[in-house]
Structure 1
Amino acid sequence: MVFAEKCSLFHEEIAKIRGYFEPTSENLKKEIAGDVIEIQKILEGIRTSMKTEADSLKKLVDTVTTDKIEQVNKKEQSLLKALSGQNQEIDDYINYLNDLIKTFHGYLSPSNIKQLTFSLQSKNLIIRPIPETSKPVPPVFTAGKYSKEDVAKLLGKITVPNTKSQNRKIKPMEIASTQLKPTGKQRKQDREKSDVNQTLSLSSSVTKVREYTVPDVGSAFHISLGKSGRHWVSNRFGGLVQTDLQGNQLQKIQTSGGCGYHTVTQDGDLIYTDSDNKVINRITPDNTITEFIKTEDWTPCSIHSSHVNGDILVGMINDREGKVTRYNKTGTNIQNIQRDNGGKTLYFYPRYITVNINGDVCVSDWIKNAVVVVDKSGQHRFSYTGQGSWINPHGICTDVLGHILVCDYNSKAVHLLDQDGQFVSLLLTSQQGLENPCSVCVDDENNLWVGQHLIEKLTVYKYLQ
């Protein structure tokens, strides 16, 4: 009996090993393998960015060299012109001397004795002095003084964020035992969700579903949808409010403000830009605020967290131009998007930002009056500047079909584009009650949320069927 009980205990331990410890360890191996791929991807992105920066620097060096050579060419022309003038002056003087010699020979004839006598008494015997000429002073080239370190500074730097490495999460045994494999119901729900996405299409009309009042905001300049029906809404002046679906205020914080400056991560944390201190802060579900990312010399102004891979896209500005920086979910800089293949600046003020289903990064640039779209490698795909007239783009989002939806403050409408930037329609206009649309997002049920300037309400529409 005692032996049987002991055997039973060991069988239980073997079951634990096979049911929890072994598969959990295998999952960790898969996670590590995924990290290897991610690290390789990040470093390849860094290498690509470095090469791009080097190419830009080479182009600048070529431009400066061309300008300086042109300066040398102009100086050469000026000096040669001066020397040519001196040479012509000497030629003229030699001709004068030859003419004078001929004249004097004429006086030597016995028949010209009177003229010779007269010439000796006149000033004709005075020979003009030789013209003065000067040697040119050529320019001197002084080589620039620079070092390897100086060039390295121009090409940016590689930094490791001062972020503590996070331990990998290991599910407790009691949770893991029920979550190691998806249930039949979960698999069925996943299939149904995929089938829905494949059968969705644009509806022939747009229907208002509901409205929510957002207290203490005044203007809904940006919306970030969270989990469990909770969402964050902000105005331009730093008021950031979290409410539920009934419009109840759950919390409110004061920030430095902006437009598309907050987003909710895969883990349900809110992250938002602090333009005053040039950092990005994180608010965890227990309302703890921590500094997440420092943006150094750039001022962050828009942010979006991809729900596909967790990457964080941040729009930034400095005194001259804008850029988009991609961070992974731990806050490591893995990509900078700033110029097109011709070296031209892509952004002036990336006010709102989002990511499409194909990985395209879509930006509302209100100074360029354009929606600027690049692919996931940072290559410029297209810029949308309006339909019939210029646009003043504000809030931007995408849906499961790859559509791009953007608020236009000029036409007071929401423009609908396809994945390649082709205009589809004015999805919402004043006919649907729009006055000053400035924020949009699409929820998990494929409904469109719209916020407006000077209106404390969020309106939800159904536009897919």
Structure 2
Amino acid sequence: MDPKRCIQDVLRCDLCDNPAPSMYCDFCNKYLCKPCVGKHLSDLSKEHKVVPFEKRGSTPYYPKCQKHLSKQCELHCKPCDIPICVHCVSSGEHLGHEAVDILIRFESIKEVIHRDLSELENVIYPKYEDILSNIPARKADLNENSEKLKTAINRRGEELHREIDTISQKIKADLVELNTKHIADLNTQESDIQHTISGITQTIEDLRNILDSNDVSIACAYKSRNDKFRELPPKLKVCLPTFTPQKTNKEGIYQQFGSFSAFSNETEETEEHIFAMDSPATETSPSDRSFIDKPWIITEINSKYGRVCSISCLNDENIWTSGRDKIMRLYNLHGELVKSVQTKSGIKPLFMHDITVTMKGDLVYTDFDDRTVNIVKNTHIYKVIKLRGWRPRNICCTSSGKLLVVMDSDDDKQTKVVRYSGSKVERSIQFNDYGQPLYSSGSYYIKYITENRNFDICVSDNKAGALVVVNQAGKHRFTYTGHPGSLIKRLFSFAGSLFTTKELFNPRGITTDSQSRILTADWTTNCIHILDQDGQFLRYIDNCDIQTPWGLCVDTSDNLFVAEYATEKVKKIKYYK
């Protein structure tokens, strides 16, 4: 530290070292006494602004113009968001642009800085300190828990060793018992054969004696026993046992040994940063598939638990459902409840939760009332996105592992689509090239969303009676407002009534298939509209007794799942050959 600035000493002139300087150069940040002012100003290589000591720091330092180097920027161009000088204005470069005094801009920026500083000092920094202060205790808990787990693992290893020793002893005992039985059988046969051989030996001796004798009576009394001796005893066949060890299944051993529960580092402030969408797997599907003449229902799933609004395929055998309660349910194609998950907030929703499934099968859902987007991993739920001033409605996972979220402003006057990578905003889509809203507003209305194979973003806007499609960059491609056939269907159902376009076409769920065809559920006419990727109408699915269709999704074989709101059923429909 400069000794002249030490707190034990008074301020001194930076040129002559005299105490208590009465002047100050705001541009050079120099303390000056009155006699030294002239000397300081004589340095023409720099700009100077000398003010009384009491007014130091009051002189604004205007930035130099990048295009007119001799000029200072005293204005700020709002559309370009850059400082400009009067020559920039007179040159016509910023013709028609709103420009304000740069000091006004400076003061507004300072207000923002003051707010940020206050938040950093009074809110954010103390929270980080609090989190940091808890880490040593958490480390100690982690180490203590690790030691307990090691003890449990050792105990489990000893248990398995004992089990293996017991099994080994049992198998050896079985072997001894088997061997003893076979030995006993052989001993019995050996004894019987020895007895027969003794009989044969005696008979041979008797026959020799008869032949050597002239006793007629003995010879006449002889009875042959050869027939009996010709019947040889059966040979006892003993199959020697072998031992065939089973091939070691390491996975099975791991499962039997045990496993850890899922680790979780969830905290109130940072849990949204743990999420990272999975990379997509490469999928192939047949091209130029043709429709079947008459789509038909493969199977029906009865949800049994209330209105079904949103569905998403986990795989070709299981499907997630959600509706107007706080429970999301996984069903198999037999209608059996496989799993259920309650939202983390536990709030019965004012509006339904929307759901999507990541490439690796993790469930993601929106919570309108809690302003969050959450992911379910195993048995844990983690917050991915926390909104302020906006509420999430519908959602989908893209082929690149990103999230597309439809959200409504708190005042219900704005709606937009935001693409997220994890919890980071990548792009916000709200207006067309003319500054007009792409989507109708109002949280009461539904806007399902999906991504097509060509990366277009497709939104069904039931308030507007339209399907709005933009490209990946958010540029409007087309809007589909129904097909003339919808009018015929509606007039046949309600003869004599007049309807607007919005009433005729009331889209709800939306999905796309392997051919980049767009399918949307028409609530009004109880059918499914199928379009090509450029918005051209292709056909209806209207002969499968569909009632109040709402949520849609397709599996890997392009089978369509339709959630019926009124019947509480999910129908699986085949529409391709």
Matching residue of 2:417? 324
- 1:309 & 1:327 partners in 2: Cα distance? 11
Give the 3-state SS of the residue equivalent to 2:287 in structure 1. Answer: helix
Matching residue of 2:574? 462
For the Cα contact (< 8 Å) 1:56–1:343, is it kept in 2? no
Work out which of the residue numbers 514, 520, 523 in structure 2 matches 1:409.
Answer: 523
- Report the alpha carbon displacement of residue 149 of structure 1 after superposing the two structures with TM: 4.7
Structure 1 residues 235 and 335, CA, compared in 2 at 3 Å: closer, same or farther?
same
Work out which of the residue numbers 194, 206, 210 in structure 1 matches 2:299.
Answer: 210
- 2:79 & 2:533 partners in 1: Cα distance? 30
Q: Does 1:372 align with 2:468?
A: yes
Q: Does 1:435 align with 2:564?
A: no
- Report the alpha carbon displacement of residue 242 of structure 1 after superposing the two structures with TM: 1.4
Matching residue of 1:287? 379
Matching residue of 1:201? 290
- Report the alpha carbon displacement of residue 168 of structure 1 after superposing the two structures with TM: 12
The 5 A counterparts of 1:242-253 are 242-253=330-341
- 1:413 & 1:56 partners in 2: Cα distance? 49
Q: Which amino acid aligns with 2:337?
A: Q
Deviations 1:12-37 (A, max 9, x none): xxxxxxxxxxxxxxxxxxxxxxxxxx
Q: Which amino acid aligns with 2:358?
A: T
Give the 3-state SS of the residue equivalent to 1:224 in structure 2. Answer: strand
Work out which of the residue numbers 315, 339, 347 in structure 1 matches 2:439.
Answer: 347
Matching residue of 1:300? 392
Q: Does 1:418 align with 2:532?
A: yes
Work out which of the residue numbers 433, 443, 451 in structure 1 matches 2:563.
Answer: 451
- TM-score, length of structure 2 as denominator length: 0.47
Matching residue of 1:274? 367
Deviations 1:139-189 (A, max 9, x none): xx9999554755998xxx9xxx955468999xxxxxxxxxxxxxxxx9xxx
- 2:101 & 2:537 partners in 1: Cα distance? 56
- Report the alpha carbon displacement of residue 203 of structure 1 after superposing the two structures with TM: 2.0
Deviations 1:57-76 (A, max 9, x none): 99xxxxxx99x9xxxxxxxx
- 2:404 & 2:334 partners in 1: Cα distance? 31
Is the radius of gyration larger for structure 1 or structure 2? Answer: 2
Deviations 1:259-280 (A, max 9, x none): 5711111121111111112111
- 2:325 & 2:404 partners in 1: Cα distance? 22
Q: Which blocks of at least 5 consecutive residues in structure 1 are unaligned?
A: 1-53, 59-64, 69-140, 170-185
Aligned residues: CA RMSD:
3.6
Work out which of the residue numbers 315, 322, 329 in structure 1 matches 2:406.
Answer: 315
The 5 A counterparts of 1:53-68 are none
Higher relative contact order (CA 8 A, sep 6+): 1
The 5 A counterparts of 1:63-82 are none
Q: Does 1:219 align with 2:315?
A: no
- 2:433 & 2:106 partners in 1: Cα distance? 28
Q: Which amino acid aligns with 1:209?
A: I
Matching residue of 2:199? none
Identity in percent? 31
Give the 3-state SS of the residue equivalent to 2:286 in structure 1. Answer: helix
Give the 3-state SS of the residue equivalent to 1:377 in structure 2. Answer: coil
- 2:548 & 2:298 partners in 1: Cα distance? 19
Q: Which amino acid aligns with 1:266?
A: M
Give the 3-state SS of the residue equivalent to 1:221 in structure 2. Answer: strand
- Report the alpha carbon displacement of residue 282 of structure 1 after superposing the two structures with TM: 1.0
- TM-score, length of structure 1 as denominator length: 0.58
Structure 1 residues 145 and 309, CA, compared in 2 at 3 Å: closer, same or farther?
same
Structure 1 residues 426 and 151, CA, compared in 2 at 3 Å: closer, same or farther?
farther
- 2:424 & 2:404 partners in 1: Cα distance? 11
- 2:391 & 2:552 partners in 1: Cα distance? 23
Structure 1 residues 242 and 337, CA, compared in 2 at 3 Å: closer, same or farther?
same
Matching residue of 1:387? 483
Structure 1 residues 348 and 237, CA, compared in 2 at 3 Å: closer, same or farther?
farther
| Greater helix fraction, Structure 1 or Structure 2 | 1
Deviations 1:402-422 (A, max 9, x none): 111001111221111111111
Give the 3-state SS of the residue equivalent to 1:343 in structure 2. Answer: coil
- 2:453 & 2:387 partners in 1: Cα distance? 27
Deviations 1:281-314 (A, max 9, x none): 1111x221111111222100000012x2111100
Matching residue of 2:263? none
Q: Which amino acid aligns with 1:316?
A: M
Runs (4 or more) in structure 1 with deviation over 3 Å come to 54-58, 141-153, 161-169, 253-260
